Amino acid sequence: MSKVDLAQFHKAFYEESLDGLDAMEQALLALDEGAEDPELINVVFRAAHSIKGGAATFGFTDVAAFTHVAENLMDEVRSGRRPMAKAVVELLLRSGDTVRDMLSLSMAGQPAATAESQALLAELSAMVSGHAAAPVVAVAKAAAAAEAIEGWDIAFRPFDYLLKSGNDPARMFRELEALGPLAVTCDASKLPALADMDAESSYLGWTLSLDAGAKRAAVEGVFDWVDGDCDLTVTPRIAAPAPVAEVAAAAAAPVAAAAPRAVRDPAANSESSSVRVGIEKIDTLINLVGELVITQSMLSQFNDGVDASQLEMLRHGLAQLGRHTRELQESVMSIRMLPISTVFNRFPRLVRDLAQKLDKKVVLDMRGETTELDKTVLEKIGDPLVHLVRNAIDHGLEMPDKRVAAGKGDTGTLRLEAFHRGGSIVVEVADNGAGLNREAIVAKAIQRGIITTGEGMSDEAVSDLIFEAGFSTAAATTDLSGRGVGMDVVRRNVMDLGGTVAIRSVQGSGTTFTITLPLTLAIIDGLTAAVGDEIYIVPLVSIIESVQVKPDTVRSVAGGGELFRFRDNWMPIVRLFDVFGCAGQRRAVDEGIVIVVEGEGTRIGLFVDELIGQQQAVVKSLEANYRRVTGISGATILADGSVALIADVTGLVRMQARRKAA
């Protein structure tokens, strides 16, 4: 047994198989829509073929057996023996899902064949015409009886082109010699005159005599690659008349390739343990580290002190160090960034299945798939997006006849778009359906006891009601959205990522959900502000502007709150020293400064003593080091070594809303 441990390749196999299944699904969906590119069929075939090959090699026999039949089905399509009918697409789509499940079971060290996969395998097998499962493991030709054989006489004359195929008679003779003593006689009678000789042609013939009772399969095996490229006779030399025994072929059968399945460490295949990085990103990183080393060596000459003449050089070196550090940081961050297409990819299938189920006509329009997002954000944004897409198709888009009656085309459009805006990533889910129904939402909210009346509420405020916990829309009883997940969960998930969800709806022409996400969770750009002796950091993405408020623009309201007038709007003032219970030095409104921030579409003014400056903060988890604190999203360490807390704007907005409601 070789010392190579196949388990080390399992993860790579698993990941590339998932990629293959994704590509297969996309190709199938394109084929389903009537595309006639033969390359699409090849993509599907290759996916099944590669997974089968890898699964067999790495010991996942159940997966290999399943994909083998799927591959046969695709082979029939590829060779034109079977049309790519809807039923085939449907079956292969389901097969893809099943293989995905089987692979994760295999990776978890569990048996991959389930009742479900067996049932689907039977369906697949039934579809493949005259299905004769070629075994994945080769079966050798039956070997002839060998016991009485004491040697072999071989006549071998290659055709003139044999050498060009890379086969070398001398090598083959060495192989034979490994079976036993070999006598070689060369027949050079066909050798032409030197002038006529082509160095790449073969002119020689040989007679060989092997003095060993080797099996026929072993002897012929030496010549299997040149079968058809030579004249070959292999004759056994029988010693004495002896009874020819029947010998089981089993001894000659090749070693089964199934490697023993290694006991897997469950931690080793946790989903998030690896990230695939483009080589150019690594190159940039290596380059930058090189630059840093150069800068470092340049600066190290100042170890023994600096005299005035060197000041310029020192300043230059420090500037370079600063620049490289920043670039290095960006470069390292970019390693965690992945294109949002990894999340978007699941939607063509989802939209197709949903539309089919609901008898609706939907075109999916995806844009900005190459927009990159932090891997952590990507992993967590999938579920909220799925929910929004389901909702849009289920509740947003109308039935074809209703659309026509409303003067629209019978096919609805669902737009899924990602783009950069400032320091954030924006993901929009937009449909051109009926828009939110104000009356229905108000009625539902009243019924659920969320509000008592809808009168006087702006359309935005009504739309926002669907994010309230306990609010679920009427159609939530359909089997599509009846998953116990409401829009409040969507909003909470997005907020956990430091993002916001906003909703824009126009009755009769559609609804747009806008999710705004931070580029990364690890570093934020923030404004540092002093509150008493403490420093707080307010994320720049949430800041609208900072203003000095005149006392005459401030109104007290019932319940002890304060509002101030900002660009024709009244908004509440939240005094941070109040919220966090620290000693604010400045209490009068005109002594300090108000930072206008926005969270969840609501603006509030944060009152602080003074602004200190702008800086990047590496976010350290407060939860991991202390405990969760409302209104604080984390902590960071300032240049002087002291700790500053990072304000959670959304949390503060919600606190304010609760206080108002109380």
Shortest approach of other proteins to residue 543 CB, angstroms? 45
Q: Which of 421, 595, 599 is nearest to 500 (CA)?
A: 599
Shortest approach of other proteins to residue 25 CB, angstroms? 17
Q: Which of 27, 29, 56, 622 binds other proteins (CB under 8 A)?
A: 56
Give the C-alpha separation, 315 to 318, whole Å: 5
Considering only the stretches 133-141, 237-245, 360-368, 523-531, report the one whose residues sit in contact with other proteins under the rule CB under 8 A: 133-141
Q: Are 65 and 102 contacting, i.e. CB atoms less than 8 angstroms apart?
A: no
User: Which of 79-109 are b and which e, b meaning 16 or more Cβ less than 10 Å from the residue's Cβ?
Assistant: eeebebeeebbebbbebbebbeebbebbbee
Shortest approach of other proteins to residue 84 CB, angstroms? 18
220 to 259: interface string for other proteins, x by CB under 8 A: ----xx--xx------------------------xx-x-x
Shortest approach of other proteins to residue 18 CB, angstroms? 12
Q: Which of 22, 72, 127, 403 binds other proteins (CB under 8 A)?
A: 72
Q: Which residues contact 662 (CB under 8 A, 6 or more apart)?
A: 559
Place of tokens 């993509």: 43
**Binding to other proteins in span 159-218, by CB under 8 A:** 163-168, 170-171, 174-175, 200
Shortest approach of other proteins to residue 87 CB, angstroms? 23
Shortest approach of other proteins to residue 225 CB, angstroms? 3
Q: Which of 56, 54, 79 is nearest to 129 (CA)?
A: 79
Q: Which residues contact 423 (CB under 8 A, 6 or more apart)?
A: 518, 519, 525, 540, 541
DSSP of 337-364? EEETHHHHTTHHHHHHHHHHHHT--EEE
Q: What is the dihedral of CA 544, 550, 552, 557, to 10 degrees?
A: 50
**Binding to other proteins in span 283-302, by CB under 8 A:** none
Binding flag, residue 130, other proteins (CB under 8 A): no
Shortest approach of other proteins to residue 379 CB, angstroms? 22
Considering only the stretches 55-63, 262-270, 476-484, 495-503, report the one whose residues sit in contact with other proteins under the rule CB under 8 A: 55-63
Instruction: Compare residues 12 and 191 and give the one whose CB is closer to other proteins.
Output: 12
Give the C-alpha separation, 626 to 36, whole Å: 59
**How many residues in the shown chain lie near other proteins by CB under 8 A?**
51
Instruction: Compare residues 222 and 355 and give the one whose CB is closer to other proteins.
Output: 222
Phi, psi angle pair for 499, to nearest 5°: -110, 180
DSSP of 617-653? EE-B-HHHHS---TTEEEEEE-TTS-EEEEE-HHHHH
What is the CB-side half-sphere exposure of residue 631 using CA atoms within 13 A? 16
Q: Which of 121, 130, 106 is nearest to 56 (CA)?
A: 106
Binding flag, residue 1, other proteins (CB under 8 A): yes
Instruction: Compare residues 64 and 88 and give the one whose CB is closer to other proteins.
Output: 64
**Binding to other proteins in span 12-31, by CB under 8 A:** 12-13, 16
DSSP 480: T
Instruction: Compare residues 112 and 646 and give the one whose CB is closer to other proteins.
Output: 112
Shortest approach of other proteins to residue 102 CB, angstroms? 16
Q: Which of 24, 52, 538, 649 binds other proteins (CB under 8 A)?
A: 52
Shortest approach of other proteins to residue 1 CB, angstroms? 7
User: Which of 264-280 are b and which e, b meaning 16 or more Cβ less than 10 Å from the residue's Cβ?
Assistant: eeeeebeeeeeeeeeee
Q: Which of 49, 387, 403, 586 binds other proteins (CB under 8 A)?
A: 49
Shortest approach of other proteins to residue 109 CB, angstroms? 18
Q: Which of 27, 31, 64, 597 binds other proteins (CB under 8 A)?
A: 64
Q: How many residues does the chain have?
A: 662
Alpha helices in 58-138 (DSSP H): 61-78, 86-107, 115-127
Q: Which of 28, 31, 44, 45 binds other proteins (CB under 8 A)?
A: 45
Give the C-alpha separation, 69 to 120, whole Å: 11
Binding site for other proteins (CB under 8 A): 1-4, 6, 8-10, 12-13, 16, 42-43, 45-46, 49-50, 52-54, 56-58, 64, 68, 71-72, 134-138, 163-168, 170-171, 174-175, 200, 224-225, 228-229, 254-255, 257, 259
